[in-house]
A = this chain, B = another copy of it.
Amino acid sequence: MNIKDIAKISGVGISTVSRVLNNSGVVSDTTRARVLSVVKKYNYVPNSNARNLKKIQSNTIALMVKGISNPFFANMIKEVERQVHLRGCPLMIQQVEDGVDEVGAAMQLIKEKNLYGVIFMGGTYDHSEEEFRQLGVPFVLTTITTLKDVDPSAFSSVSIDDVQSAYKATSYLISLGHRHICFLARFPFRENTIGSRRLLGYKKALEEHGIEYDPALVEDCEYAPSFGFAAAKRLLNKNLGVTAMFAASDAIAIGAAKAVLSSGLSIPGDVSIVGFDGIEMAEYYHPSLDTVSQPGVEMAHVSVEILFDLIGGETANRHVVFESMLVKRGSSRKIN
């Protein structure tokens, strides 16, 4: 069943059917009604391959997300989808394996499918300005850090200030009297990853309060509970008199909390903990975990807005930096 059949059955020309389906050009009301009834009757759905082929540009948006299983992204993905559908466009969610060249993959998709635009979500990108420029369609980087020094005018982004956010959390712990605060995050030995930016904020807070930075208090671990657990165990075994832990994600914090509690220590009695992201599970941990919360849903929303502004012809790239929020629940306390 194709447009030709529909045209024949309706007793009109092909182009008339096309105009009815696309609400373009003029069609008399009676013809429109007749065509629509036939379309409905035969459950006709236009073939998007043919449509996109002819239109050179499809209206499909792609979401390239690094680590689709990251719970922090869950609500963001949902919001991106909601917003994109609201604008009448289909969304393709593409999970990007760790270690895959995500911009290259996007490039492939863009050429293959004549994409309308792309949102990149999560991770650290090691791409040059030139590579981004070559994409040829509007795109937005959401909660992403770029390793190479890319001119801000070459891309749009939505993020929080990681340095400032980590600074905020660390300062909070210091203000509660903590002096031996450890920090758990992933450090791929490169500048400008999420982990190293948060480390910067951590260091800055220590320095401002005259506390010497002790590398032994910093543990490298992936963003998952099992790694947080192992890292915290290692730290506790060092017997450095740690009274507080700051984790670069709630998943890490949950694992670390488990390590603390299962060592017979209490939270926040013996050890205070602050996480990062603001996922729902952290709130329902016992005790409820303090965290630096990112406004994920709004960030997703704004990402889509920026993308469609660019698609709509806006030429100026935008960089929206959201404010993170220190959420105090029950996992830290004042000491001394």
Contacts and interface: CB of A to CB of B under 8 A. Distances in A.
Interface of A: 45-50, 52-53, 58, 68-69, 71, 74-75, 77-78, 81-82, 92-95, 97, 107-108, 111-114, 224-226, 228-229, 251, 254-255, 257-258, 261-262, 280-281, 283-286, 288
A130 to B, nearest CB: 13
B254 A284 contact: yes
Interface centre among A52, A107, A284, A285 (most CB of B within 10 A): A284
Binding site secondary structure of chain A: helix
B47 A112 contact: yes
A77 B71 contact: no
Given A225-B281, A284-B225, A284-B229, A48 B81 contact: no
Contact of A77 (B46, B95, B286): B95
B226 A254 contact: no
Contact of A47 (B53, B82, B97, B258): B53
B68 A74 contact: yes
A74 to B, nearest CB: 3
Contacts of A288: 258
Please list the 7 inter-chain residue pairs (A to B) with the smallest Cβ-Cβ separation, ordered nearest first: A69-B74, A45-B111, A225-B284, A49-B53, A48-B112, A93-B93, A261-B286
Contacts of A255: 284
A254 B280 CA distance: 11
Contacts of A52: 49
Given A48-B49, A49-B112, A68-B93, 7 more contacts: A47-B111, A49-B52, A50-B53, A93-B95, A226-B284, A261-B286, A281-B281
Nearest to A95: B81
A69 B58 contact: no
A262 B329 CA distance: 13
Given A114-B49, A225-B283, A78 B74 contact: no
A45 B261 CA distance: 54
A126 to B, nearest CB: 19
Nearest to A80: B95
A288 B111 CA distance: 48
A69 B49 CA distance: 30
A244 to B, nearest CB: 18
A257 B108 CA distance: 47
